[in-house]
Amino acid sequence: MKLYDRLYYTFYRMLLKLDDMFSIQRETPRAETALILSILTGFNVITILALLTEFMGMPVFSAKKIYIMLMLSPVVFINLLLIFYKQRYKKIEEKLLPAWKEMKSKNILIAVGYIVFTVAFFCLTIQYIKSHPIK
């Protein structure tokens, strides 16, 4: 959970910094942060399911897009729950704000590493599936 909190707070700070850079006022930076985390987590879930499909030789989920969307809706719900349940975002922000200046570069490195891992994992899985089609 500590890693999740760091990712949340780093993306949250990034959105606030973008607001300052472009002189815009975001109404929902916390919800946007939850959406970013949901998208990245969703990519990882899809990638894992694609690998399971490849290794098992049969589809883990139906090819219909609606089933995939219904399957990913719990990912979004869980991320929203982890952030907004009992205003947990306030606890995360209060806990990580004092140490932010000391740990800023480490937290940014973790967030960038997570993004790079997600994209690389997804791309490598696609390459693997293309080179090893299901028979």
Residue 2 has pLDDT above 90, yes or no: no
For residues 28 and 12, give the distance between their C-alpha atoms in angstroms, rounded to a whole number.
10
The predicted structure's pLDDT at residue 1: 74
Q: What percent of the chain has pLDDT over 70?
A: 93
- On the question of pLDDT at 134 being above 70, the answer is no
| 85 phi/psi in degrees, rounded to 5 | -65, 125
Whether 26 and 32 have beta carbons less than 8 Å apart is answered as: yes
Q: Which residue, among 16, 12, 80, 95, has the nearest Cα to 42 in the 3D structure?
A: 80
Q: pTM above the 0.75 mark?
A: yes
The 3-state secondary structure of the chain reads CHHHHHHHHHHHHHHHHHHHHHCCCCCCHHHHHHHHHHHHHHHHHHHHHHHHHHHHCCCCCCCCHHHHHHHHHHHHHHHHHHHHHHHHHHHHHHHHCCCHHHHHHHHHHHHHHHHHHHHHHHHHHHHHHHHCCCC
Question: Which class for 111: exposed (0-12), middle (13-18), buried (19 or more C-beta within 10 A)?
Answer: buried
Residue 8's domain comprises 2-131
Give pLDDT tens digits for 61-70: 666 667 777 7
Split into its structural domains, the chain has a count of 1
